[in-house]
Amino acid sequence: MRQSRPLHSGWTLTCLGGPGARPGLPEAIPAQVPGTVHTDLLAAGLIPDPYLDLNEIAVDWVGRCDWRYDLVFDWRDEGAEITDLVFAGLDTFAAIRLNGVAIGDTANMNRAYRFPVHEHLRAGENHLSITFQSAWTRGEALAAQYEPRPNNYPGPANLMRKMACNFGWDWGPTLVTAGIWQAVTLDSGPAARLASVRPEITLSGADGHVRVHADIAAGDASGLALRVSIAGQSAAAPVADGAAALDLVVPAPRLWWPHNLGSQPLYDLVVELVAGDRVIDSYRRAIGFRSIRLDTTPDEHGTAFTVVVNDVPVYIFGANWIPDDCFLPRVTPERYAARIDQARGANINMLRVWGGGIYETEAFYEACDRAGMLVWQDFLFACAAYPEEGDLPAEIEAEARDNIVRLMPHPSLVLWNGNNENIWGYFDWGWQPALEGRTWGAHYYLDLLPRLVATLDPTRPYWAGSPYSGTMDIHPNDPDHGCTHLWDVWNEIGYEHYAASIPRFCSEFGWQAPPTWATLTQSVHDEPLTPVSPGVWHHQKATIGNDKLLRGLAGHLPEPQGMDDWHFATQLNQARAISFGIAHMRSHRPRNMGTIVWQLNDCWPVTSWAAIDGYGRKKPLWYALRTVSANSLLTIQPRTTGLTVVAVNERTLFWRGAVTLRRLDFDGNILAEWTHWRLCADRFSAAELLVPKELSAPVDPKREVLVAKMHDRTAFHWFTEDIDLALPKPEYDIALKNLGDSRWEIAVTARTLLKDLCIFPDRLASDAEISDMLVTLLPGEVHRFIVENIDEIDAAGLAGAPVVRCANDLVT
């Protein structure tokens, strides 16, 4: 049996110099593996925290230097036929030497490497050295090699296979990393091993089918066999010509579902390479049985884009996922699980792993498998033209093969996507005249990647890009075909314009806001703290982002006066914008079958489009997503026939009940009332109800609201924007109740109308968290919030501003 020995302890790190290298650095410092140069320097006290204030600029020199990792380890020959040095991930341009012998070079952080080293090992002490060349330095050489190509962001990311957002993005810092970012092991044992295992998992009727393909690395494969077992079923097949394949049928397995539709049973798949009764090598994965397809059937509206799981068309409540930290090894399995649990808590059922980041580690996909979180996986191309010459095509093919095979066992993975915005860029961003006929990546998206997916993972659909219409003959961002990005909203026009189109599937749209107050003040220490003070400004990476924040308030809320109001108003506007867009698109089900908001998470503390900020805290947007993405949504939408109540049902049972409509003034007086005794939305459908004229036509739009109720769902329709509403000065009573274990109940009784009531306990205690936000109360109504992680002294501050806020505060 093979033995794997981690080589994670005892490393040192040395700076080899480069532009701006700091004088006086120690010759060597302790290094953590897996890790990065930046985090080692930070642990040694040699650089300030790059996430704080303007420190990102102060540490720029780190990415411009070359670095060497060194390890001395003992080894003894225990009779293994071969020993390989295996790297799960090296970032990025590395030269590897063992006992002074050059073992190999790497140029891709997105793939694993295996080097035979048995003949170079010595009994006793051995010296392993890995030298990393600066990606900036290598980028200069590559830029000289390749003719210029469009790139939306500075840096040479499109010329190499390194995480693109490392070089900065409109939400991320420029922190160009290097290091041994994933595990490094010595793998010893017999000469034969499982080189790759590809399990194709499908359904046929009620039965599950597993077809296992295995490639065997062996000098002599005679007498070897492949043995597979799962769910009490087992089979074996001989190895021939370095490969083996076999099929297993699992009678009537329990099906794996996205979490909003069912459970996530997993079965242990065991694949063994055997010689007689002796196990030489093994492979184990937890798999799930489910079918998946992408329905792109033409219809009267254009071309559908519908994810179908177990023959059920699933409405996608999605969020785009970026790397959760600039320093990747800091994202532990526990952190992945926590973040995915937050996504699930917001009723998100799909995460799109975006193409400017990484193929995540196994821990991410395993957590998604357990949580019932669907995964849309981009291949790693984003916002740039990529050359198709030189060494790049071979690296891209090797990387794609590696990751397709690695990720295909996961039931959560349901779609491969060729790129982010590159086809759109070719059509609309002035690339064609700039390219002058040079290659830009079309071969990858339209030929290489679909061929590899079809060959290696034929059970899953492939789509060439996001956005993409399905053909180069139709504009890639045509809302009637395929998947669409909506970025004129936010960049150019207000969020009310989401209602101007009905995309078949919206795979990117978003609205910015600052992080939570606790995160902002933990990372920025400006005195005074203002929207344009140096640290706050530096933690806003979008072009004229602060201007867009204020412009986006226009017509909705007044321009805020002071930092507290700016922080609350922009967070509130973000939550409203996205909620408005999703409710509009959902109300047009099944023409629209999904939204993927930009974005779930952040990689550092920053003003961005995220629902969860860079320190893992929930912004008001998270609470808005939880409401608007619930399986049952009641919403009031404008239609050509007039205001309409829409009940949207993503449950497995029909949703039926009485709908009560009331037009009220802001004092709570009923001006008109009507009940429709039975509105029925069948499972996976939407039902509409026209609002009678006496309810949809206010006498005084500034002082009236339309309220619809169906079971426990409530929808509000305001007849004009907040800036024009006669919202009263907020009045309320607050009662606190100590629940023990640092938990408190906050009962808020409204004495006036309170619109979008929020409580921000993180202003009192950085770890405090509230159960609800964005709660609208009519006079006399009570809402009970639960706050956690706050002590008795801080709890006394839960009774007023700036902890307690509502929209009334901004307009009165």
The pLDDT mean for the chain works out to 97
Rounded to an integer, the average pLDDT of 544-565 is: 96
Report if residue 47 sits inside a domain.
yes
pLDDT digits (tens, 9 = 90+) for 391-445: 999 999 999 999 999 999 999 999 999 999 999 999 999 999 999 999 999 999 9
CATH number of the domain at 682, please.
2.60.40.10
Count of other CB atoms within 10 angstroms of residue 634: 23
Mean pLDDT to the nearest integer, 613-622: 98
Rounded average pLDDT over 454-460: 97
Q: Is residue 156 a part of any domain in this protein?
A: no
> Given this model, what pLDDT does residue 800 score?
85
Count other Cβ atoms within 10 Å, centred on residue 200. 18
pLDDT in tens, 215-231: 999 878 789 999 999 99
Do 448 and 585 lie in one domain? The reply is yes
Q: DSSP letters along 42-96, please?
A: HHTTSS--TTSTTHHHHTGGGGGSEEEEEEEEEE---S-SEEEEEES--BSEEEE
Cα–Cα distances in angstroms (integers) from residue 497 to residues 280, 424, 486, 715, 724, in the given order? 62, 21, 10, 20, 19
Q: What is the pLDDT of residues 353-364, one digit of tens each?
A: 999 999 999 999
| 556 & 656 share domain | no
- 38, 65 in Cβ contact below 8 A? no
Pair 586, 530 in one domain: yes
| Residue at 165 is within a domain | no
Q: What is the pLDDT of residue 760?
A: 98
C-alpha closest to that of 169 among 517, 612, 600, 606: 606
The values of phi and psi at residue 22, to 5°, are -75, 130
Which has the closest alpha carbon to 594: 710, 699, 502, 492? 502
Instruction: Examine the pLDDT at 113 and tell me if it is beyond 80.
Output: yes
Report the alpha-carbon distance of residue 579 to residue 583 in Å, rounded.
6
Residues 615 and 649 in one domain: no
What is the model's pLDDT at position 689?
96
421 catalytic per annotation: yes
* pLDDT, mean of residues 640-646: 96
Q: Are 37 and 62 in contact (CB under 8 A)?
A: yes
> Is 296 within a domain?
no
Task: Let me know whether 593 and 639 are in one domain.
Answer: no
pLDDT of amino acid 219: 76
Burial level of 102, CB count in 10 A (0-12/13-18/19+)?
A: exposed
Q: Indicate whether 57 and 42 sit together in one domain.
A: yes
Inter-CA distances, 426 with 170, 190, 401, 482, Å = 20, 50, 26, 17
Give helix 563-586 / helix 545-553 axis angle, nearest 10°. 70
Question: Residue 433: its pLDDT value, please?
Answer: 96
Task: Report DSSP state, residue 118.
Answer: G
What percent of the chain clears pLDDT 90, i.e. is strictly above it? 95
Each residue of 598-608: pLDDT tens digit?
999 999 999 99
Question: Is there a single domain that holds both residue 260 and residue 388?
Answer: no
Q: Would you tell me the crossing angle of helices 449-456 and 392-407 to the nearest 10 degrees?
A: 30
Whether residue 516 has pLDDT greater than 90: yes
Q: Which pLDDT value is given to residue 1?
A: 72
- 150 lies in some domain: no
On whether the CB atoms of residues 86 and 185 are closer than 8 A, the answer is yes
Residue 102 and residue 83: Cα distance in Å, rounded? 16
- The model's pLDDT over 77-105, given as tens digits with 9 standing for 90+, comes to 988 999 999 999 999 999 999 999 999 99
pLDDT tens digits, residue range 784-799? 999 999 998 888 899 8
Mean pLDDT over 740-747 rounds to 96
At residue 628 the predicted structure's pLDDT band, cuts being 50, 70 and 90, is very high
C-beta separation of 115 from 150 below 8 A:
no
Which residue do the tokens 């390194």 mark?
162
Reply yes or no on whether the pLDDT at 619 is more than 80.
yes
Q: Flag whether pLDDT at 24 surpasses 90.
A: no
**Which H or E run contains 737?**
strand 732-740
Q: Are 619 and 644 members of one domain?
A: no
Total of domains in the chain: 5
Note whether 404 and 452 are within 8 A (CB): yes
CA dist 103 and 117 (Å) reads 8
Q: At what angle do helices 362-371 and 333-345 cross, to 10 degrees?
A: 40
The gap between the terminal CA atoms of the chain, to the nearest Å, is 74
Q: Based on the domain organization, do 372 and 461 belong to the same domain? A: yes
Which residues fall within 8 angstroms of residue 583, CB to CB, at 6 or more apart? 628, 633, 635, 637
Q: Which amino acid is at 597?
A: V
Respond yes or no on whether the N-terminal peptide bond of residue 133 is cis (omega within 30° of 0): no
One domain for residues 684 and 743: no
The residue among 628, 644, 677 that closes a domain is 628
How do residues 256-291 score in pLDDT, each as one tens digit?
Answer: 999 999 999 999 999 999 999 999 999 999 999 999
- The last residue of a domain, from among 696, 724, 752: 724
The pLDDT of residue 19: 85
Q: What is the pLDDT of residues 160-182, one digit of tens each?
A: 999 999 999 999 999 999 999 99
* Dihedral, CA of residue 609, residue 613, residue 616 and residue 620, to nearest 10: -80
- Give per-residue burial for 495-514: e unless 16+ CB within 10 Å, then b: beebbebbbbbbbbbbbbbb
pTM of the model: 0.97
pLDDT at position 370 is 98
Structural domain contains residue 293: no
Same domain, 121 and 226: no
- Give the pLDDT of residue 221: 79
Domain closes at, from 585, 613, 628: 628
> Which residue in 200, 366, 399, 421 is the catalytic one?
421
- Residue 710's domain comprises 632-724
Q: Does a structural domain hold residue 320?
A: yes
Residues 248 and 372 in one domain: no
Q: Taking residues 12-24, what's their average pLDDT?
A: 89
Is 152 part of a structural domain of the chain? no
pLDDT at site 162 = 98
CB 658 within 8 A of CB 633: no
With cut-offs at 50, 70 and 90, classify the pLDDT of residue 197.
very high
